[in-house]
Amino acid sequence: MKNAFTLAEVLITLGIIGVVAAMTIPTLISNTNGAQFKAAYKKALSTMNQAVLMNVALEDTDFSTLKDDSGSTGGNHVAGSLAAMLEDRLQSATDVSSTYFTEVDTNSGTLPTSTIEVTVSCTAEDKNNAASAADGSAEKLCANANIATGETSADVTGDITFAPTAGSYYVYALADGTYFGFNKEAQSCSKGNLDCIGFIDVNGSTNPNTIVECDDPDAATCEVSASNIKDIYPVLFYGQTVEPATDAARTVLFGK
């Protein structure tokens, strides 16, 4: 008589395989998505930095000379604005501002906010007005300004709430499918200019629409595990540079 598995043994084995698959497949998918998000993020940063360097070579201008574009209508962007620079240097870049936030709201509820550490210059007037400023705003940071005798201002470093909205941001789709969002009022961008904080969304309005964060926000060193690599990265643009704006975004860029 030949040896064989009983039906019960086969069903038990299949059940064990199913349980193991259910436990491991989501992690494998998450890690794969994380690797794709990371690669797309690095490519988008490179593309943006190449665009501004091209603008320097052709026009002798960079982010420090940007013009306020908040008053433009009908796609007629102000010459010298960031929108105009993108359209000139990345000719395949497409303005998707009118649809991006609506699609994000439909797919995932809303674009999440994030906390970003910034340095602002505060005057005595700013300090006096800080009491009535909204929590999480740059203006609120000035409450802690310590302006020395004989000085007109002081730099204060602290956290602000980063919350892009449809009314205040342009969003451009790049040729590779990544999106770049930036404040319409971005102008004369220096490192401390808070209008010059934007974001890269590596897969457009498709979920998860989540801003990357450290695994443990309270840890001394930021770590981002593969499963926590998300699709949205806050960035700073100033001078001839586009760089990560948060510890988590920096960790993903420079991590292994």
**Per-residue pLDDT tens digits for 176-193:** 899 999 999 999 988 767
How many alpha carbons fall within 13 Å on the CB side of residue 101?
14
In which residue ranges of the chain is pLDDT below 70?
1-5, 21-32, 192, 256
* pLDDT on residue 121: 82
Q: What are the structure tokens assigned to 158, written together?
A: 């602290």
Asked if 192 and 121 touch (Cβ cutoff 8 Å), the reply is yes
Looking at residue 242, its pLDDT comes to 94
Residue 95 sits at φ, ψ, to 5 deg, of -75, 115
8 Å CB contact between 73 and 40? no
On whether the CB atoms of residues 217 and 247 are closer than 8 A, the answer is no
Query: For residue 194, what are its two tokens?
Result: 């808070």
Which token pair is 8?
């019960």
**pLDDT value at residue 53:** 94
Q: pLDDT value at position 134?
A: 83
Whole-angstrom distance, CA of residue 143 vs CA of residue 60: 39
What does the pLDDT read at residue 96? 95
Q: Is 43 helix (H, G, I), strand (E, B) or coil?
A: helix
- Its pTM stands at 0.80
Q: Kindly report whether the peptide bond that precedes residue 234 is cis, defined as omega within 30 degrees of 0.
A: no
